[in-house]
Amino acid sequence: MMTPNQKMTQNKQLKKHESKYLVTGSLIIASIIIISYSSYLYNYFPDEKVFETIFGTFESNYYESVRYFVWALLSKLVPIFLLLIWFTTCKHWWYHVIAVPIAIYIFQLFGVINDDIDFVDEVEFVYSLPITIIVLIILYFIRSKINVFLKAQDLKKQVDEQMEKAINKRHEDQIH
């Protein structure tokens, strides 16, 4: 039989476990919101060809405006980050498909950067393919580590629920 003190301890553990899920979910939601609104950061850059900062001077060659370059850059980075969040948090069997648009956006990101630094290459796909493959391998590694953690958390939750049901049933049987 479970003492009231033990039951209180178990309830605290369940609430602590639930609060971890709440904190994790809240961080993911906050990240999605912040990343989504960061696509408007280009408005804070000057509509000039040269931008001087304390870190150095940036000159936009291809886009002829720092603002347009940052807009083009963010139009690739924002979807990449959102897709990465989706890829690493998706529990469905088809999550591998999300790697395809990630690879496409990474390829386009290299195109945006290469356009502005006047690096012209006829076979840029050949050079970006190994980088994309390396990024995908890293993503799968991260995903596999997170997947093990998520499965362990789900299994622990199921075990806790089953134990709670068994304890409640036993407690009810002892009362009657």
Strand partners, 58: 51
pLDDT at 123: 56
**pLDDT tens digit sequence for 29-50:** 999 999 999 999 999 998 888 8
Residue 6 has pLDDT above 70, yes or no: no
Q: Label residue 175 exposed, middle or buried (CB < 10 Å: 0-12, 13-18, 19+).
A: exposed
pTM summary value? 0.61
Alpha-helix residue ranges (DSSP H) falling in 38-121: 66-89, 99-116
For residues 10-15, average pLDDT: 63
pLDDT at 124: 59
Q: What is the C-alpha to C-alpha distance for residues 65 and 58, in angstroms, rounded to an integer?
A: 10
Residue 127 has pLDDT above 70, yes or no: no
The structural domains of the chain, with segments of one domain joined by +, span: 4-175
Question: Do the beta carbons of residue 35 and residue 78 sit within 8 Å?
Answer: yes
pLDDT at 16: 66
pLDDT at 67: 92
DSSP for 8-42? HHHHHHHHHHHHHHHHHHHHHHHHHHHHHHGGGGG
Give per-residue burial for 23-45: e unless 16+ CB within 10 Å, then b: eeeeeeeeeeeebeeeeeebeeb
More confident residue, 7 or 135: 135
Distances 149 to 4, 90, 135 between C-alpha atoms, Å: 32, 13, 21
**pLDDT tens digit sequence for 44-91:** 998 888 888 888 888 888 888 889 999 999 999 999 999 999 988 887
Q: Which two tokens stand for residue 85?
A: 């969040």
Question: Do the beta carbons of residue 17 and residue 160 sit within 8 Å?
Answer: yes
